[in-house]
Structure 1
């Protein structure tokens, strides 16, 4: 049975572009309007241009009861707009959506909370919004508080909660008040590792109980672990839908673009700020057997250069390596050094026989006094590692993110002698 049916869903927003010769601030706009009112001049809106932006365009799908739907796509692809339509926060511009069942949504930190009310009061408020009786809320109350871990602050107004407390309580309410459809947007982006594991476990429990789950996340590993079907959105269009493994593979093949080098020769145009400017970030593979691609045997060298513009600054580099699904493999840093003004070079080597095959992303931070991030160059380099095997007759996917050659041996330690 289909619990959600979307038919030709589109959502349009109107964007105002202000021209350079028009008022540039709210004060200027108000002064301009008032001046024209008293002078008798007609309001001239020529300084503003309007543009239609379609966040979603002609989207069609069906979601059956018990489906676990993952939604993938770049930022701005239309994922959050779709969830707001499904949650009845906004209406589509065209098309219609049919929903059977009670929906609970966790779209962003603080959604559905009244900041002046306490955690206790917000639990009852959210339950009432879901259409639950006070008895039903009371039956789930202790489980919600225990899951969120906010018992000490239960009678504190939620406006004093940290973002982590907000999202823990919000997720606990959404997951425990027994909705037929649970919608979750990037809950794994906030909170510590322990809470993320609890969220994944709870969402798995929800899905296994026959309820419907719709899950948006940049963590593709979590989507693959939780969801049996997925949607791939791009620029407001539903590009593909179907089995999660197929969708994730298709998505990665379209977004994976190797970037092995970035450099800037002009310091004035280089990225950075008044403390540092980036000159280059390069990847140098030590290709094996005269190959032109990186495989699991290939040592990889990184060279990062930047101009230090502050005399005597104590700086160090911090390099992060991520899988293409968004999980951090490791973070390694250099010692902190007191540096003069001028060009600074950092190098790092990842040995061969360390990383498994797959796609990887590298980010680099410049850190001052071992604590303050001066500049963060996110997702700077992207590279692929191909598989290579010898003396192995099994060709399934090698599990894990690393694939080290360790001192692991086997030998005969005892013989069985037949009588």
Structure 2
């Protein structure tokens, strides 16, 4: 028989857009009038799907719609999807931070959540006091918390600062302590959002190892949200793929990641999405070349080739210390490379209204694992203030070539190809 520890039934979450409180009294009265007449809430019949790329026509939006799934004891579930898919909203409902508009959550045992940096922590209290506070919130006795205190402090690496107010902690220290509390106070269900990405690589490895111990060694259940597909694949046994507030796939973790990759890579075929934040700069022209030949977005390139980008900007206001950055995103939505003008010692100062800025950028050899890629463009001031952004500025498919002599496909869980020289030493 199945040992079901968590069950979501017809979960939906509706939010009202606009200023908080505007028009809500009339809406509340309308809901009440329908309720006393035994009729359904009229606002459950309206609302747009949670697609951030479209304006929509309603003041209501469905962050989640009709979510149903079961979790067995000891399962590690990876919840994956693009930003805005509803992952964090679902975890907040599972953690009972917020209530669903419709549907219900049934769980057996304690749920510990790690949703956002500092959630549940009191900045004025010390790290030690916050451990006891969080333990009490989880339903632990003081004796139980005391018995785990030394392990929590040691794992967090915050021993030197444990009697210092948490408001003086860095975000990384706060996450370390919060994760240690959530993991060591032995909840039946551990819910972890993208927050682990705040920690350094050493802590992420340590945290994933601890979650593996919790699930495999102690038979406890973990729900994990991350954009790091390598971490999801190594930790999870099952996946739930979400899009626009709905579950679009549920199955084994490899099948889930592959399904998500196919869905995400389809967006690379979309037209570039422009966002002008300040009306101070305009992209007037752009073209892309490989080996001196013009190429279009969606082109097939080969391992080891270089891309040359030629851009022309119209300056619409006086600007100083302009930053231009490119993000290369793979089919899983993971950032695989980031390049800026400052990284290469190229600085852009003192631009005046009406000036044209013409720039050529040539990449080094493309050594990413063959697959789908998209390049995003960001223009700003001193890497801080955003002026202009283009999502899916240019996309391409990278194919294997004779740059690599291997005959088998390169492993998809890798990110980069590292060229090397081999010889027999004497």
Write the deviation string for residues 66-85 of structure 1: whole angstroms up to 9, x where unpaired: 21110012233221222122
Structure 1 residues 287 and 394, CA gap change in structure 2 (3 angstroms): farther
Paired with 2:106 and 2:419, the residues of 1 have a C-alpha distance of 54
Instruction: Kindly indicate whether the alpha-carbon contact (under 8 Å) linking 1:6 and 1:59 is maintained by their aligned counterparts in 2.
Output: no
Kindly tell me: are residues 15 and 410 of structure 1, through their superposed partners in 2, closer, same or farther at Cα, counting changes over 3 Å? same
Q: Which residue of 2 aligns with 1:293?
A: 300
Determine if the alignment matches structure 1 residue 279 to structure 2 residue 289.
no
Matches within 5 A, 1:41-60: 51-60=59-68
1:165 matched to 2:173? The reply is yes
Give, in angstroms, the shift of residue 312 of structure 1.
Answer: 7.4
Distance 2:194 2:417 in 1: 30
Return the match for 1:345 from 348, 358, 372: 358
Q: Equivalent of 2:268, from 254, 258, 265?
A: 258
**For 1:227-277, what per-residue CA distance to the aligned partner results, in whole angstroms no more than 9, with x for missing partners?**
11110112221111011111111112112233698598xxxxx72526533
Cα offset for 1:409?
4.5
Distance of 1:61 and 1:187 partners within structure 2: 24
Q: Which residue of 1 aligns with 2:223?
A: 214
SS state at 2:349 partner: strand
CA distance in 2, matches of 1:385, 1:50: 38
Residue in 2 aligned with 1:225?
234
List per-residue Cα deviations over 1:281-316 (Å, max 9, x = no partner). 54434499x995223254322233323345573445
Q: TM-score scaled by structure 1?
A: 0.77
- 1:349 shift after superposition: 2.3
User: Could you say if the C-alpha distance between residues 65 and 399 of structure 1 is closer, same or farther in structure 2, counting changes exceeding 3 Å?
Assistant: closer
Which secondary structure state, in structure 1, belongs to the residue aligned with residue 373 of structure 2?
strand
TM-score, with length taken from structure 2: 0.76
**More deviation in 115-124 or 310-319?**
310-319
Report the CA distance between 1:394 and its aligned residue.
2.8
Task: Name the stretch that deviates more: 319-328 or 201-210.
Answer: 319-328
Question: Structure 1, unaligned stretches of length 5 or more?
Answer: 19-23, 30-48, 265-269, 415-419
What is the match of residue 12 of structure 1?
13
- Report the Cα distance in structure 2 between the residues aligned to 1:180 and 1:404, rounded to whole angstroms: 42
Cα pair 2:299 2:395 within 8 Å, conserved: no
Match of 2:156 in 1: 148
Counterparts in 2 of 1:376 and 1:170: CA distance versus 1, 3 Å: farther
- Which ranges in structure 2 are unaligned for 5 or more consecutive residues? 25-56
Q: CA deviation at 1:330?
A: 4.4
Match of 2:276, SS state, is coil
Contact 2:264 2:331 in 1 (8 A): no
Aligned CA distance change for structure 1 residues 357 and 393 (closer, same or farther; 3 Å): closer
In our comparison, the structure showing a higher alpha carbon Rg is 1
The RMSD of aligned alpha carbons is 3.6
Question: Alignment partner of 1:156: what SS?
Answer: coil
- Superimposed CA distance per residue, residues 137-163 of structure 1 (whole angstroms, 9 cap, x where no aligned partner): 112212222333333432333344343
What is the distance in 2 between the residues matched to 1:305 and 1:311?
17
Mapping 1:9-158, distance limit 5 Å: 9-15=10-16, 17=18, 51-158=59-166
Partner in structure 1 of residue 328 of structure 2:
321
Counterpart Cα distance in 2 of 1:313 and 1:304: 18
- Give the secondary structure class of the aligned counterpart of 1:338: coil
Runs of 4+ aligned residues of structure 1 deviating over 6 Å after TM superposition are none
Distance 1:324 1:50 in 2: 32
Decide which of 163, 178, 202 is 1:194's aligned counterpart.
202
CA contact (8 A) 2:14 2:64 kept: no
Which of 353, 356, 370 is 2:369 aligned to? 356
**CA separation in 1, counterparts of 2:310 and 2:103?**
52
Aligned length: 381
SS in 2 for 1:313: coil
How far off is 1:378 after superposition? 6.3
Do 2:12 and 2:103's aligned partners in 1 also have CA atoms closer than 8 Å?
A: no
Indicate conservation of the 8 Å contact 2:273/2:393, yes or no: no
Distance in 2, matches of 1:249 and 1:82, equals 22
CA change 1:182–1:282 in 2 (3 A) is farther
Bigger shift: 254-263 or 68-77? 254-263
